[in-house]
Amino acid sequence: MSGEKVVAGTPISLEDPGLHEANLPSATTLDALVEAHLADSLARGLARGTVAYRRVYLAQLVAWLHERGVTTAAQVTPSVLEEYLVHLKGRVTDYNRRSPSPLSVKTLAAEASVLRSFFSWLAKRHVVLFNPAETLVLGDRSQPLPKTVLTESEVQALLAAPGLDAVGLRDRAILETLYSTALRRAELCALDLYDLDAAGELVRVRQGKGRKDRYVPVGAHALAALRRYLHQARPDLVVTPKEPALFVASITGRRLGRQTLNLIARKHGESAGIGQRVTPHVLRHTCATHLLQGGADLRHVQAILGHASIATTQVYTRVAVEDLAAVHRRSHPRRSLKVVERQAPGAYPHP
């Protein structure tokens, strides 16, 4: 159907004169405006995953506004959004029901960005006179340090955890690939057979974040695990030889899903006795950190990770520096005041 976009199962017609981007009447309901914004985002090439989380954040805002009798965009003022800010900061995440915690700074900053983008879109189409979220700050925009980075011994234990059956060989190839390439979860799941260039020791990431293609080197250990999986395991897992996906699920025999990938990482992390939760993103963090600790250039790590800005990659240099500082504290003979006091009672340590 010409002019129709589907957002999360809801058809939105951009040809509807009431929702045309140059003709959005101020009386249009917030729900309809959100749908038009999301449809336009898809039409402009924004990734479906990005549109999906924008939908969640905007739906939360609209529900909160409806509870307060706010049904049109013109009624949304900076003070209303400031009140919403207080509401968000008081919420807790249900990610871990046993120990609920406030929303992270990163999540709050992401919500702020989505709101600013939505109301800026409305302002450009003259639905509102100005962007009421322009100065809204829900969190610190600075890049937080990765919460979990595995040690080399933990990585070795993790990679040795899978068994030698077909599923185990697949899981070993997955974990080796994640640690070797630092691919994002969606990027690994999207890999097809022809994306692996074993001879060139490369893997091609098609339409990664920002819809950009890139080539990422694959290490010898990961290639060996991939070859073993492809020859000894994958033929027993696929439903049809025509299946293009590199990694397939053991039950369906078709492309591996993101949630299954999460379960694989967590299961083998627990089997390896790693005290922290292991996820595909933890392996991405770990790969980047170990590369820098091994002397890799920051620009090269940026290219491997697929970061648009080197500022995003620089967070890993902070991890590497903190690691060096920890080594210094453990190893230097004058590492602390207590050590100095034991060595020279009564002496005041000079800088």
Strands of the chain, DSSP E: 4-7, 10-13, 92-93, 101-102, 196-197, 202-205, 214-217
* Element of type H or E holding 171: helix 166-181
Answer yes or no: 242 catalytic: no
Closest CA to 243 of 256, 229, 227, 228: 256
Q: Are residues 103 and 14 in the same domain?
A: yes
Q: Are residues 43 and 156 in the same domain?
A: no
Within a domain: residue 255? yes
**What's 183's domain CATH number?**
1.10.443.10
Q: Are residues 168 and 207 in the same domain?
A: yes
Count of structural domains within the chain: 2
Q: Are residues 69 and 160 in the same domain?
A: no
pTM: 0.59
Answer yes or no: 334 catalytic: no
Closest CA to 141 of 105, 87, 103, 173: 105
Q: Are residues 256 and 191 in the same domain?
A: yes
Answer yes or no: 307 catalytic: yes
**What's 76's domain CATH number?**
1.10.150.130
Q: Are residues 120 and 171 in the same domain?
A: no
Residue environment code for 258-271, b if the CB has 16+ CB neighbours within 10 A, otherwise e = eebbbebbbebbee
Q: Are residues 95 and 222 in the same domain?
A: no
Q: Are residues 109 and 216 in the same domain?
A: no
Closest CA to 119 of 136, 95, 104: 136
Tens-binned pLDDT, residue by residue, of the chain (351 aa): 334 433 333 333 433 434 444 455 555 789 999 999 999 998 888 888 888 889 999 999 999 999 999 989 989 998 898 888 888 877 765 544 444 566 677 777 788 889 989 999 999 988 988 999 887 765 555 555 556 788 899 999 999 999 999 999 999 999 999 999 989 898 999 999 999 999 898 899 886 565 678 888 899 999 999 999 999 999 999 988 899 999 999 888 899 999 999 999 999 999 999 988 899 988 988 888 888 888 877 778 778 787 766 666 666 665 555 555 555 565 556 555 554 445 555 544 444
CA 155/CA 160 separation, integer angstroms = 9
Answer yes or no: 184 catalytic: yes
20, 209, 266, 277: which is the annotated catalytic residue? 209
Residue range(s) defining the domain that contains residue 95: 4-124
Answer yes or no: 209 catalytic: yes
Answer yes or no: 316 catalytic: yes
